[in-house]
């Protein structure tokens, strides 16, 4: 039974399918059947006409960003509507974006999980081969090892701080359009914005409820 926030994504491969509406209508019907029952909320919907062989799809990128904004799950009609590229699916998992396919409700746990295990097994095998090669080299008398530590320089420390600051700005930018809309509607105080974000079901970057101090931090980053 579906529950929580959802972002819907529909895709057809050709302009003819998009113009006819037949492909999109079938996908909408499948997603509606999947969401039937339960307590759920559709936060956004996106449509796209693009080949499944391409992963650089603007509407899909917006759908993923909406999932991050609302802490939502991406819902598609069929698994092949998302991508035929296993690496892309694993990338979604690493990005922390959960998704479900109406024709295979457990795809996010089953299919991607299997692909992740396959990738992990491949990494394990590579590691085992590397270890065996090093042992063989050592047996031949090759000197291995050396200084393995690293003392960060002042430049490294500054670069790390800059990276953290950039990450904070990137996270804040996700909320910029919504905050701009609230300000335009006359909601300008930190408390008012926090209340409005909570009412819209938009979680903080850590998935919690908004408070005035968190809004102030986001505004400071946006106005910097």
Which pLDDT belongs to residue 18?
47
**Residue 44, SS3?**
strand
Q: Is the pLDDT of residue 87 over 60?
A: no
Average pLDDT over residues 7-27: 69
Q: 95-152, pLDDT tens digit by residue?
A: 677 878 887 776 655 565 565 566 556 667 777 777 887 788 778 777 666 655 566 7
Closest CA to 173 of 223, 125, 121, 119: 223
Q: 165-185, pLDDT tens digit by residue?
A: 777 778 788 888 888 889 889
* 82 contacts 61 by C-beta, under 8 angstroms: no
Report residue 117 as tokens: 């295990």
Confidence of residue 91 (pLDDT cuts 50, 70, 90): low
Beta strands in 85-196 (DSSP E): 99-101
Name the more confident of 1 and 137. Answer: 137
**Residue 11, SS3?**
strand
**In the block, which residue shows the tokens 């430049």?**
155
* Type and span of the H or E element at 151: none
The C-alpha atoms of residue 14 and residue 186 are separated, in whole angstroms, by: 43
Q: Residue 72 has what DSSP assignment? A: P
- The CATH architecture to which 3-112 belongs is 3-Layer(aba) Sandwich (3.40)
Confidence of residue 68 (pLDDT cuts 50, 70, 90): confident
Each domain of the chain, given as residue ranges in start order, spans 3-112, 154-223
Average pLDDT over residues 22-27: 77
């Amino acid at each position: 039974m579906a529950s929580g926030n959802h972002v819907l994504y529909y895709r057809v491969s050709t302009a003819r399918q998009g113009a006819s509406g037949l492909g999109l209508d079938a996908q909408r019907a499948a997603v509606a059947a999947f969401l039937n029952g339960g307590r759920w909320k559709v936060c956004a919907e996106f449509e796209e006409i693009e080949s499944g062989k391409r992963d650089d799809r603007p509407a899909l990128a917006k759908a993923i960003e909406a999932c991050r904004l609302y802490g939502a799950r991406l819902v598609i009609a069929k698994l092949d509507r998302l991508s035929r590229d296993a690496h892309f699916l694993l990338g979604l998992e690493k990005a922390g974006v959960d998704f479900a396919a109406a024709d295979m409700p457990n795809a996010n746990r089953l299919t991607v999980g299997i692909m992740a295990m396959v990738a992990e097994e491949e990494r394990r095998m590579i590691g085992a081969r590397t270890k065996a090669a090093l042992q063989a080299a050592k047996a031949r008398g090759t000197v291995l090892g050396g200084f393995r530590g690293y003392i960060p320089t002042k430049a490294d420390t500054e670069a790390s701080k800059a990276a953290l600051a950039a990450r904070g700005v990137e996270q804040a930018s996700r909320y910029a359009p919504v905050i701009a809309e609230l300000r335009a509607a006359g909601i300008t105080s930190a408390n008012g914005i926090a209340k409005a974000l909570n009412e819209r079901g938009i979680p903080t970057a850590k998935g919690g409820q908004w408070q005035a101090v968190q809004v102030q931090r986001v505004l400071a980053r946006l106005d910097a």
